Amino acid sequence: MSIHQTINNRKGEIEFRKKLTQQQVEGLSLIDNEFNLEEIKNILNERMLKTFEQIKLIKEKGNIISPYIEIGAERGQRSLVMENDLMAEGAAVDISFDMLKSCDYYHKEFGKEKMPLRICCDANNLPFLSNSIPFIFTYETLHHFPSPEPIIKEVHRVSKPGGSFFFDEESFIKVLHLNLYKGKKNFSKEKLTQNYFMRVLDFFFAEMDCNEVDHGIIENINITLSTWKKSLSPYIEKEIKIESVHFFKSSLFNPRNYLKYFINYLLGGSISGICKKSGKDSKKQISIREALICPSCMDNHFESKLTRKESSYSCIKCNNTYPFVDGVLFLFSDYMFKELYPEIFNLARK
């Protein structure tokens, strides 16, 4: 089994997020059992508050948070917090152009003046110099891949020595689980208003059902703890927490209480934490824009820095041009660019 997404998985992400944006920004009704325009604002506000508290604490512990990269940034709401409330500078990256474009709408809705650099790209090939960025973070993203390993490997490559990688709201497998029936759709009113007894039953016996899967998106809730350990192995220093049903918490590595660890192992649940790349941080720090490299040259294992033009970036080595469209910079290799966004690719290569 491949540890990488297929082209169809990627296209599914793009198509689903486009419909979601139309529903939650334009007010259209395209996807059942998904939040509408008003509901999503409340959800995003909660996410922004949580992000502020978590990353503020990370900063207070001595971690450098600027420049940063947010992977799977969606609407860019968390990057808006980084730019405006935590005074950091960085990039919001996502494979969905429509989601990134919607940041124009949300920064006005939430009264956030400064915008992140928005980059439409593939998390498997982050278009940034190796050893360049001190802080990379992601929420609810790594489970959209067959394995988190390739993405974390890329994060480790891009991270500056001494830099930090923070992730939250990811899942690991429920060993004590049987798919005896299909559960209610995620975010449906029936799901959100279930009583406690039905939630417990679903936890142990219901097969997950969500709109993402219907669109060909990977929802990998079966990542084993051993896979997480292997994926995080490039990092020597790490604080990773696993948690089941809001009661049982344990460290993933060197747990103090092996009974709690075993209960977590059986029940499954959520995983989050922060890792530090080994090595000493150099005093020199480049800006997020100075760290951009050509994704096409990356395919040939060469890191070629990009230069800014009026409405695009270009590569001196291969002469490829990467456009800004509605404020979003496209940084894909030629093959991926043509497959995922053919119309924009054809305009960029004219």
DSSP 147-165: -SHHHHHHHHHHEEEEEEE
Structural tokens at position 182: 């299909």
E runs forming strands in 3-99: 68-71, 90-94
pLDDT of residue 1: 60
pLDDT of residue 158: 98
Helix (H) or strand (E) holding 262: helix 258-267
User: Phi first, then psi: what are they for 40, rounded to 5°?
Assistant: -70, -30
What gap in Å lies between CA 260 and CA 242, rounded to an integer?
Answer: 10
Query: Which residue shows structure tokens 């948690």?
Result: 243
Three-state secondary-structure class, residue 275:
strand
Residues with pLDDT less than 50, the chain:
none
298-325 per-position pLDDT tens digit: 998 999 999 998 899 999 999 999 999 9
Per DSSP, what are the bridge partners of residue 117? 91
Q: Measure CA 228 to chain center.
A: 16
59-81 per-position pLDDT tens digit: 999 999 999 999 999 999 999 99
User: Which of 105, 156, 97 lies closest to 122, judged by CA?
Assistant: 97
pLDDT of residue 196: 83
How many C-beta atoms surround the C-beta of residue 152 within 10 A?
24
DSSP-assigned letter for residue 128: B
Enumerate domains of the chain plus CATH numbers.
23-171+218-242+270-292 (3.40.50.150)
pLDDT of residue 283: 65
DSSP-assigned letter for residue 243: E
What gap in Å lies between CA 268 and CA 21, rounded to an integer?
Answer: 31
What gap in Å lies between CA 21 and CA 96, rounded to an integer?
Answer: 10
User: Which residues, 6+ apart, have CB-to-CB distance to 217 below 8 Å?
Assistant: 9, 12, 13, 16, 144
How many C-beta atoms surround the C-beta of residue 335 within 10 A?
13
Distances from the Cα of 270 to the Cα of 184, 223, 228, 267, 329, angstroms? 20, 11, 12, 10, 33
pLDDT of residue 126: 98
pLDDT of residue 111: 97
What gap in Å lies between CA 239 and CA 150, rounded to an integer?
Answer: 20
What gap in Å lies between CA 20 and CA 214, rounded to an integer?
Answer: 14
Amino acid at the residue 63: N
Helix (H) or strand (E) holding 170: strand 159-172
Residues in the chain: 350
User: Which of 172, 174, 242, 235 lies closest to 205, judged by CA?
Assistant: 174
Structural tokens at position 89: 């500078």
Cβ pair 208, 183 in contact under 8 A: yes
What gap in Å lies between CA 183 and CA 210, rounded to an integer?
Answer: 9
Amino acid at the residue 215: H
pTM of the model: 0.96
DSSP-assigned letter for residue 280: P
